[in-house]
């Protein structure tokens, strides 16, 4: 349902939004291009789900997960995925810094890539997302605490991120949202989006065909 809600929000988005969520039980998500064989042995310990976005293996349960939706009608949608990734993580860095953490972004430049080589994604543990910082990931004292992956469609851009291994303190979600925009308001998930997410979950994310497609 977490994956389905994000996809439903992307389908129906009329404005930029950020959603924060947790997990009911220990879970593991892996990227769209990942191999099920690389995560199958975790099935007895965690719920498994293939993301619609790319990237490596992410362990969920203790983390704070978020998604940002940018509709295709927004000017920001015209920016490169790398630029969007960096700007979101700059805002995240600043929100964490407000909590007195020593925070920086992983090295950026010609030799730093947002995506690891395909050969690296196919091996364990190199495909474990938080063991492998990439350009513009958020670091605290040299440890990766936040990474993300994206999916771009005709409807807009979906950015899914996870924050872990760091004390977020009180009011973190509000600080992060404010760093992204000074024009924010809190709202509940629309019932129509929830209903659509249930359809997507049943037809896609809950099926073995989707989970084991590679």
- The CATH number covering residue 19 comes to 3.30.930.10
pLDDT of amino acid 122:
36
CA distance 126 to 52: 20
Assess if residue 74 is contained within a domain: yes
Q: Other C-beta atoms within 10 Å of 12: how many?
A: 15
- The SS3 call for residue 156 is strand
pLDDT of amino acid 4:
97
Counting every residue written for the chain, the total comes to 214
User: What does the pLDDT profile of the chain (214 residues) look like in tens digits?
Assistant: 999 999 999 999 889 999 999 999 999 999 999 999 999 999 999 999 999 999 999 999 999 999 999 999 999 999 999 999 999 999 999 999 876 667 889 886 544 444 433 333 333 345 777 777 788 899 988 889 999 999 999 999 999 999 999 988 889 999 999 999 988 889 889 999 999 999 999 999 999 999 999 8
Assess if residue 6 is contained within a domain: yes
Strand 138-140 vs strand 64-71: parallel, antiparallel, or unpaired?
A: unpaired
CB 180 within 8 A of CB 91: yes
pLDDT of amino acid 155:
92
Assess if residue 208 is contained within a domain: no
Residues 6+ apart with CB under 8 A from 84: 70, 76, 150, 157, 159
Catalytic sites, residue numbers: 129
Domain coverage including residue 9: 2-186
pLDDT of amino acid 125:
45
Task: Indicate the number of domains in the chain.
Answer: 1
In the numeric block, which tokens belong to residue 110?
């010609």
Assess if residue 194 is contained within a domain: no
Assess if residue 52 is contained within a domain: yes
pLDDT of amino acid 169:
83
Assess if residue 155 is contained within a domain: yes
Assess if residue 135 is contained within a domain: yes
CA Rg value for the chain: 17
pLDDT of amino acid 114:
41
Assess if residue 207 is contained within a domain: no
């Amino acid at each position: 349902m977490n994956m389905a809600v994000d996809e439903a929000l992307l389908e129906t988005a009329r404005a930029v939004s950020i959603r924060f969520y947790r997990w009911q039980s220990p879970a593991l998500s892996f990227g769209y291009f990942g191999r099920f064989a690389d995560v199958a042995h975790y099935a007895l310990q965690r719920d498994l789900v293939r993301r619609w976005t790319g990237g490596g293996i992410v362990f969920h349960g203790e983390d704070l997960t978020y998604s940002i939706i940018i509709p295709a009608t927004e000017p920001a949608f015209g920016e490169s995925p790398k630029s969007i990734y960096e700007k979101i993580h700059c805002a995240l860095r600043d929100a964490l810094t407000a909590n007195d953490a020593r925070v920086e972004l992983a090295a950026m430049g010609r030799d730093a890539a947002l995506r690891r080589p395909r050969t690296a994604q196919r091996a364990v543990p190199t495909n474990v997302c938080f063991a492998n910082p990439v350009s513009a990931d958020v670091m605290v004292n040299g440890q990766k605490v936040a990474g993300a992956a994206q999916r771009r469609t005709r409807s807009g851009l979906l950015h899914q991120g996870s924050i872990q291994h760091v004390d977020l303190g009180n009011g973190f979600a509000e600080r992060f949202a404010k760093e992204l925009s000074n024009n924010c308001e809190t709202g509940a998930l629309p019932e129509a989006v929830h209903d659509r997410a249930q359809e997507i979950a049943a037809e896609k994310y809950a099926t073995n065909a989707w989970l084991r497609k590679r």
